[in-house]
Amino acid sequence: MESVGFGIIGTGGLWSELHASVFSTTQGINLAGVADITEYKAESFAQSYGTMHHTDYRSLLLDEMVKAVSIMTPPRTHAEVVLAAVEAGKDVLVEPPLALTSAECTSILEAAEKSQSKVMVNFRNRWIRPLRQLRESLQKVGNVQYVTLQTSARIDVPTEKLTWADETTVEWFLGIHSVDTVCWMLNQAINQVYAMDRLQVLKTKGIDTPDYYQAIAHLDSGATVYLEDSWISPVSSSNLLEFSIKIVGDKDVLHEHIQYPETVLDSTESFEAESVREFIKCVIDHEETAITSEDALRATMIVHSMEMSAATGVPVQVG
């Protein structure tokens, strides 16, 4: 049986190596090529996996052996790159966000429907086992009154591990996963946000991007959510990523504190690897993706509203 070719666009993403490992070690799949605008990065990455390299992602998309691609480029490029991929008839796994505006998201989704390409935004938190178990136990809390979700990454993520941290914000990098987690877990929409950020620590290190975001969000049910996303935890921390969630209802309280060491970036048993395998399965078995176009559009609208609120200092209605 001939293997199916998958490609990677962007070798400087936090999870690029892991995607390559999963594609290279999954039966019936092969890593058919990688693309990066920086030639030595593309060539070095490709040599590690014995595959082709490209400095223009369009040349990778022209390869008929490539059925699907993972897009790991900075968020500002997603609208252009994802649209080009679906117009080339490729199935797409893209790190959030799908795009930075609702108009761009809509254009991509319309093009994907026309080309019959699958587009899955990689909201990886949905594959974190403790969070899945929490979701399955949600009926225990009764009517949800409020939720807190705090996500933190070590400061070496933006300063060392991510090559384009100054081209994004912590909210597009971590916060978009947080808002999707809340909406997915509670099966509710966020309709208003009031957010603030701070630009201080990372700026002193030459990275002109916020250290953290904090936001109060309101759900359709009237419940309140407190969100905090930070990527300045000290390097001395043994954990690269941490999640803390608390759901308070009128019957019970559920909470989880989840920690991941740096090895999570390499582990083919991690939640990130599970989400990649889910995408592979959808492509191979011609199934619909678990994450819908509405999920992708909703998350972009919420984060865009959070940035508007942080900039203006007033609450913003989502959409």
Q: Note the pLDDT of residue 1.
A: 54
Which stretches in the chain have pLDDT values below 50?
A: none
Record the tokens describing residue 218, joined without a space.
């309101």
Q: Note the pLDDT of residue 319.
A: 82
Give the global pTM. 0.96
Taken in order 71, 77, 79, 84, is the CA torsion positive or negative?
Answer: negative
The CATH class of the 4-123+273-289 domain is alpha beta
Domains 4-123+273-289 and 125-262+298-317 share a fold: no
| Per-domain boundaries in the chain | 4-123+273-289, 125-262+298-317
Reported in sequence order, the residue ranges of the chain that DSSP labels E, i.e. its strands, are: 4-9, 29-35, 53-54, 66-71, 91-94, 119-121, 144-154, 190-198, 212-219, 224-233, 241-249, 253-260, 316-317
Architecture of the domain spanning 125-262+298-317: 2-Layer Sandwich (3.30)
CA distance 303 to 99: 11
In degrees, to the nearest 5, what angle opens at C-alpha 277 toward C-alphas 292 and 246? 60
Beta pairing class for 144-154 and 119-121: unpaired
Task: Note if the bond before 75 is cis, omega within 30 degrees.
Answer: no
Taken in order 117, 131, 294, 73, is the CA torsion positive or negative?
Answer: negative
Place of tokens 């022209």: 62
Give Cα separations from 315 to 222, 275, 311 (angstroms): 15, 33, 10
Q: Note the pLDDT of residue 2.
A: 74
Give CA torsion, residues 203, 296, 229, 255, to 10 deg. Answer: -170
